[in-house]
Structure 1
Amino acid sequence: MIRDFWAENYLSIRERQGLSFIAKTKDDFLSYEISPGVFLNKLGILYGANASGKSNILYAIQNVFELLVISRTDINEAVITRPSFELTKTEPTRLHVSFYADGVRYDYDIAYLLSHILEESLYYYPNNSKALFYERTFKGEGIQAEIKFGASLNLTAATKKTLAENTLNNHSVLSAYRKISLKEDILPIASLLNWAVRHVHNINEHQRDSLGEEIKEACGDEKLKRFYLQMLKKADLNINGFRVVTRLKEVPENIRKAITENEMFTEEAKKRMLEPKDSNEIFFVNQSKEGDFEIPIGLQSSGTLHYIEMLHFLYHLITGSHIYLLDELDEKLHDDLLLYFLNVFIYHSESSQLVFTTQELSLLAEDLLNEHRDLVWFVEKKQDTASSEYNRGDSFGLHKNSSLYNSYKIGKLGAKPELGSFFIDLD
């Protein structure tokens, strides 16, 4: 779980902007006690006008974990990042994240230019006491970075040397593990890297292109299938079943002719290309008073398909410990269905976190957010600098009886487009 995060000089974020998931009050469902006395919010919601930069904080969170786990093999490759703020693009980008992995807190900080990492540090809290994991400092182009490992890791001198030699100036020390052979004393590094790979997910990971595979997986997993069917029924979509039909798909005659006549292909290659391939077709069983009937996936509405995609995320959120970043979660969903989705997550998850952007204002009228304003941020782009600002819902000094919805509608919370008159000059 993420404890807190901030970014500086990243996309539309010029000055340091951050999100804290430390719960202001204990709640049995909205927060989780990740460590004795430490409660973290499971939910983070970002509101803002179009082009305000609300999605950019999601990209920054994704990026800091990418930097931790993805290595480079070519020193000429750029550091894994998105562009810095345009007006300060020659200055370093700085990212920070504090998170818990397998119950242990880690604090990671990194500063970098497009060509190389200037410095990074990783601290952790075994037995709740702060200790150095590693720190590195850039020494110059073509020169190995200065790297110091914490004594509590108990790494041998040979392991330290191997890690340092495999750490290029354009990727993190932790990710160098991916380029070396496993050794027994490297377990702390391997465990952390593997945790991040398994539990932190990219923005809207595994959407439309893998929907068919997800349905196929559900057909072979009774628990997963039962979850899908229950959630589809509760969504009032008139869907009470689904199935995957596998058929052999022949190569079209015109393509067969082109392959056969192409002298660049070997006979063996032609044979492989001309063989019929398995093709999966997905059908949903819809119900009516006159009987059930099947509709292929291609004829389902985009809203229905989006909801089914979201069920993949929801299942993993409530059955495991995951961090999901979702952009425009509310897209094409009825507001009641969105609220139902969130309540299922809140009441059935334990140590997962869901951070998402939305334009669905009706959520701001719900007790869920009005009683827990530390779950929501309002993102506004400053007119004088074109930089994004992120303000938490409990930072505006609103009276406890004031509605976030009403306050937002009248402009007290910012994060709204300033449109002016709807009369325009066509000349």
Structure 2
Amino acid sequence: MLIEFRVTNFRSLRDEQVLSLVASSDKTLQDSHTQATGIRAAPFLVRSAVVYGANASGKSNLIRALKSMRGVVTQSATAKPDQIFAAQPFRLDADSIDQPIEFEATLLLDGVRYQYGFALTTQRVVSEHLLVYQAFKPQRWFKRHFDTDTGKDVYEFGSGLKGPKNLWEGATRPNALFLSVAVQLNSDALRPVFDWFENRLLIVNEQTRFTQKPLIQMLQQADGRKEICNFLSAADISIADITVETRKIPRISRFDSEGSKTEMQSEEMEEHTPRTYHKLLFHHVTERGKAVFDLMDESSGTHKLLLFAEPVLDTLRNGQTLVVDELDTSLHSLLLRELVRLFHHSETNTGGAQLIFTTHDTSLLDAPDLFRRDQVWLVEKDRDQASALVSLSEFSPRKNEALERGYLTGRYGGVPLLSHALGLKH
């Protein structure tokens, strides 16, 4: 599970910003909305977190920052020696432009707490560290920093990290992470951290391209089809069943230069087009009748919920962390609420899965028992156009306070001041 994410000097996030999933001491909805950890420093973690803010406030940059960290961890070991990082520091401050971008994630994996972070410029990694809490006192497994005087990386290793550390150090290029290279060279001790980023963290934003292949594979299995239908039913979408109709694509004919009809060879066909395609059929049943519709007949909300079905169910099944930017797009508020509640129900979330998302849907704030105060976060920009992230808990709202009204009137920040922006008088 994700305990905490820190980022500094990334796009509009100039100063260090901290997204914490550590639950407060408030006992409200503790059994459903939090997960016990067994560690004293953070006894409970929240199972979901929502981030609000005006357009261009920096909400999406928070998601991009986590995705950027994930990309460096998973890809730097295989990058080309001269490949640079797509690092974008805060550009509206002369002091920040030349400073490195910093990321740090604190994770709870199989009862062990890992605190891993690094800093980089476009050209190289300038520092990297890993603290491991196998007991209450942390062990520093490794620390790396770039010495500008010698032009070399300097490493410090702790006794807790086992394996050929000198070999891993020698194989780590300036534009690669030591952790990623060590895992590539079979470090079992460091693999849990790497695997969390690669396999247990799923990030969906405007750059994500969904593929239907995992969904089709689930629908082609009886158990998977039942899971997806139950998922849609929980969101009050009246689909009784979904079947997959698989059709072969006919061979493609073409004409040569003399006008003779020929057929593409199999290897040519595989190169130009798939050999089969899948058609989804949706079975609707009411008291007065039944009908079958194809995907184009379903609403845009059903389309999006269907695409989310496989990653959401996979996240819940395997205890992963799902991060989504603008989750409310094309989803009705009631559907969005039911999606969030899947992460709060112990029957559907048995493995400590987490959901983190941004939204403009303020009606969620007053939805009964949907969020604790420590699950709501707000982002807004200051006069320097630097984004600041703050927890709603810091405003100490009353138990029965109308949060949506308070948010929309600017009591907690995170909303555009339209009258000032448009030059209007109150």
What's the TM-score, normalizing by structure 1? 0.87
- Report the equivalent of 2:413: 414
**SS of residue paired to 2:64:** helix
- Report the equivalent of 1:154: 162
> How many angstroms does 1:251 deviate by?
4.8
- Report the equivalent of 2:113: 105
- Report the equivalent of 1:354: 355
| Structure 2 residue corresponding to 1:91, chosen from 56, 74, 99 | 99
Distance 1:423 1:108 in 2: 44
Say whether residues 1:138 and 2:146 are aligned partners: yes
> How many angstroms does 1:275 deviate by?
8.8
Distance 2:353 2:206 in 1: 16
> How many angstroms does 1:92 deviate by?
1.2
Distance 2:99 2:255 in 1: 57
**SS of residue paired to 2:5:** strand
> How many angstroms does 1:204 deviate by?
4.7
Say whether residues 1:6 and 2:6 are aligned partners: yes
Distance 2:141 2:70 in 1: 16
Given that residues 260 and 270 in structure 1 are in contact (C-alpha distance below 8 angstroms), is that contact kept between their aligned partners in structure 2? no
- Name which of structure 1's ranges 280-289 and 321-330 shifts more when overlaid on structure 2: 280-289
- Report the equivalent of 2:312: 314
- Report the equivalent of 2:129: 121
Say whether residues 1:395 and 2:410 are aligned partners: no
Q: Which runs of 5+ in 2 are unaligned?
A: none
**SS of residue paired to 2:240:** strand
Given that residues 166 and 179 in structure 1 are in contact (C-alpha distance below 8 angstroms), is that contact kept between their aligned partners in structure 2? no
Say whether residues 1:62 and 2:67 are aligned partners: yes
Please list, as runs of the form range in 1=range in 2, the aligned pairs for 1:7-406 lying within 5 A after superposition.
7-25=7-25, 26=27, 27-37=30-40, 38-70=43-75, 71-79=77-85, 81-87=86-92, 88-139=96-147, 144-155=152-163, 159-177=164-182, 179-180=184-185, 182=186, 186-204=187-205, 209-210=210-211, 212-253=212-253, 256-257=254-255, 269-270=267-268, 277-347=275-345, 348-349=348-349, 350-368=351-369, 372-382=372-382, 384-406=383-405
Deviations 1:313-348 (A, max 9, x none): 321232221011111111111211211121122113
**SS of residue paired to 2:210:** helix
Percent identity reads 25
Given that residues 11 and 86 in structure 1 are in contact (C-alpha distance below 8 angstroms), is that contact kept between their aligned partners in structure 2? yes
Distance 1:241 1:278 in 2: 22
> How many angstroms does 1:191 deviate by?
3.6
Q: Which runs of 5+ in 1 are unaligned?
A: none
**SS of residue paired to 2:204:** coil
AA at the equivalent of 2:98: T
Deviations 1:242-297 (A, max 9, x none): 111111112554xx337999xxxx97854755898111111111234553222221
Distance 1:275 1:316 in 2: 29
> How many angstroms does 1:57 deviate by?
0.9
Distance 1:188 1:177 in 2: 9
> How many angstroms does 1:83 deviate by?
1.4
> How many angstroms does 1:151 deviate by?
0.9
Distance 1:142 1:244 in 2: 62
Deviations 1:65-120 (A, max 9, x none): 333332244221113x4411112222111122211122210111212111111111
Task: Give aligned pairs, total.
Answer: 410
Judging changes above 3 Å, is the alpha-carbon distance between structure 1 residues 73 and 333 closer, same or farther for their aligned structure 2 residues? closer
Judging changes above 3 Å, is the alpha-carbon distance between structure 1 residues 142 and 205 closer, same or farther for their aligned structure 2 residues? farther
Judging changes above 3 Å, is the alpha-carbon distance between structure 1 residues 400 and 209 closer, same or farther for their aligned structure 2 residues? closer
Please identify which structure carries the higher helix content. 1
Deviations 1:17-74 (A, max 9, x none): 1111111135111111122442111111001111111111112122223333322442
Given that residues 247 and 276 in structure 2 are in contact (C-alpha distance below 8 angstroms), is that contact kept between their aligned partners in structure 1? yes
Given that residues 144 and 165 in structure 1 are in contact (C-alpha distance below 8 angstroms), is that contact kept between their aligned partners in structure 2? no
**SS of residue paired to 2:352:** coil
**SS of residue paired to 2:203:** coil
Distance 1:99 1:419 in 2: 39
